[in-house]
Amino acid sequence: MPVSFSLVADHVTAPRRAAAGGKAWAPSTEKARSDAGLGQSGQVLHFAADSEIYADGDRNVSLYTIVSGVVRTCKFRSDGRRQIDAFYVAGDIFGFEAGGEHTLSAEAVNDVSLIACRWRGVEAFGAEDERMARRILSASLRELRRSQEHALLLGRRSAFQKVATFLTDMSERSPNRDMLDLAMSRQDIADYLGLTIETVSRTLSQLERNETISLTSARRVCILERAALRDLGL
């Protein structure tokens, strides 16, 4: 199954045909490039797990489309704590930032292949063709919605609600909705949800005791009661 992802695509919650944890399906470079939607100028790049794609403060010169793997964008605080803004999976586009410099850094969660697409920023915008302009605007609006939903998730919600929502979201972006292979560590999840690893771990164990999920291994989650998860997430 090819990556059918379009920049002018659907609602943000639409299920994506993306491999969340594997290279099992990895498409050819040619196909990925033509499907990516960001134009002809792409070059495929590879990053090892935990390597840095760009840093907070770097000049902001490209947009990236993920071919395979998972990417996190994050910020490091003065006290050493890290906060994760988003996870991106195959088919997703990331790298939008307002100014000439990144305000977040992007890192590979596991081994990642992606296509970089140079963009000349807002200044040059409009000189490009219309379809391109629409795609970029559409993608940035989708990012905006994602970010808003993340903010809502972080405000005054219990650990159960956060973890349940996280699992629901990830499963909707995974090829197999009921058998979820998490690419990220507990620390990553904790930093994304504004919790500690201990709380994430305890909450997952509790969900397993409830028979809402089953933890085949630490990073493999089977969703047994999707409805219960959804209700928790509300």
State the residues that interact with DNA by CB under 7 A. Answer: 22, 156, 158-160, 185-187, 194-202, 204-205, 215, 217-219
Binding partner at 205 among a copy of itself, DNA, none, C-beta below 5 to 8 Å by kind? DNA
Tokens encoding 114: 């992606």
Binding partner at 201 among DNA, a copy of itself, none, C-beta below 5 to 8 Å by kind? DNA
Tokens encoding 82: 């890290």
d(CA 119, CA 127): 12
Of the pair 118, 220, the CB lying nearest DNA is at 220
Of the pair 22, 121, the CB lying nearest DNA is at 22
The amino acid that residue 228 corresponds to is A
Helices 186-193 and 197-209: crossing angle in degrees, nearest 10, is: 100
Residue 23's nearest CA partner among 170, 183, 173 is 183
Is residue 188 a contact partner of residue 109, using CB atoms and an 8 Å limit? yes
Q: How far is the CB of 46 from a copy of itself (least distance, A)?
A: 27
Tokens 């379009």 found at:
6
Is residue 74 a contact partner of residue 84, using CB atoms and an 8 Å limit? yes
Binding partner at 29 among a copy of itself, DNA, none, C-beta below 5 to 8 Å by kind? none
Residue 158's nearest CA partner among 122, 206, 114 is 206
What secondary structure letter does DSSP report for 199? Answer: H
Binding partner at 151 among a copy of itself, DNA, none, C-beta below 5 to 8 Å by kind? a copy of itself
Of the pair 44, 61, the CB lying nearest a copy of itself is at 61
Q: Which residues bind a copy of itself (CB under 8 A)?
A: 1-3, 8, 10-12, 14, 75, 77-79, 81, 83, 85, 96-99, 103-104, 122-123, 125-127, 129-131, 133-134, 136-138, 140-145, 147-148, 150-152, 154-156, 191, 193-195, 234
Tokens encoding 93: 């586009």
Q: How far is the CB of 64 from a copy of itself (least distance, A)?
A: 16
3-state secondary structure of 172: helix
Binding partner at 3 among DNA, a copy of itself, none, C-beta below 5 to 8 Å by kind? a copy of itself
Is residue 104 a contact partner of residue 85, using CB atoms and an 8 Å limit? yes
Of the pair 53, 195, the CB lying nearest a copy of itself is at 195
Is residue 170 a contact partner of residue 92, using CB atoms and an 8 Å limit? no
Of the pair 101, 211, the CB lying nearest a copy of itself is at 101
Binding partner at 96 among a copy of itself, DNA, none, C-beta below 5 to 8 Å by kind? a copy of itself
Of the pair 115, 184, the CB lying nearest DNA is at 184
